[in-house]
A = this chain, B = another copy of it.
Amino acid sequence: MDIHRAGRPTRPVPPEWFTGTVWQDPIVEAPAPARLRALRVTFAPGARTAWHTHPLGQTLHVVVGIGLIGLRGAAPRLIRPGDTVWIPPGEEHWHGATPDTMMSHVAMQEALDGQTADWLEHVSDDDYTRAPADD
């Protein structure tokens, strides 16, 4: 058993895969044969990931704030604390804060051949500021 006490350093994210100010806090990188990679990601207002996919999908669980998740050719959707998003393998998407509110989520994905994401282009301001759908 390994206990990782609260207080591990918060890390900045690679700027080529994100827009704006985004912070990562580690949760786990489970050793093989397990595949789980989990972390908390905090997006300042206006910040978001680039477009990307996951080889074995991704689960997002919002813990604080209000954010957005976007798919190709559709209005982004608002996500709030307690909401969970499942993105299946290969689906191109992005996620982040809204323009006016920060958002923090736990992100859980499984590594395939050491890879948890395939990164694409940044999300344009036009795509990001499209009026969100809600429900």
A residues near B (Cβ < 8 Å) are 1-7, 26-28, 30-31, 33-36, 38, 56-57, 59, 61, 63, 69, 71, 77, 79-89, 91, 93, 106, 108, 110, 135
Q: Do A3 and B34 touch (CB < 8 A)? A: no
Q: Do B28 and A56 touch (CB < 8 A)? A: no
Interface centre among A1, A35, A86 (most CB of B within 10 A): A1
Q: Do B61 and A33 touch (CB < 8 A)? A: no
**Main SS class of interface, A:** strand
Distance in Å: Cβ of A34 to nearest Cβ of chain B: 5
User: If A36-B36, A110-B35 touch, does A59 touch B1 (CB 8 Å cutoff)?
Assistant: no
Q: How many copies does the complex hold?
A: 2
Q: Do B6 and A86 touch (CB < 8 A)? A: no
Bound-complex Cα distance A93 to B88 (A): 32
**Known A1-B91, A4-B83; further 20 A-B contacts with Cβ < 8 A:** A1-B86, A3-B84, A4-B86, A5-B80, A5-B83, A6-B81, A7-B82, A26-B84, A27-B61, A28-B59, A28-B61, A30-B59, A30-B110, A34-B56, A34-B89, A34-B110, A36-B108, A38-B61, A61-B106, A106-B106
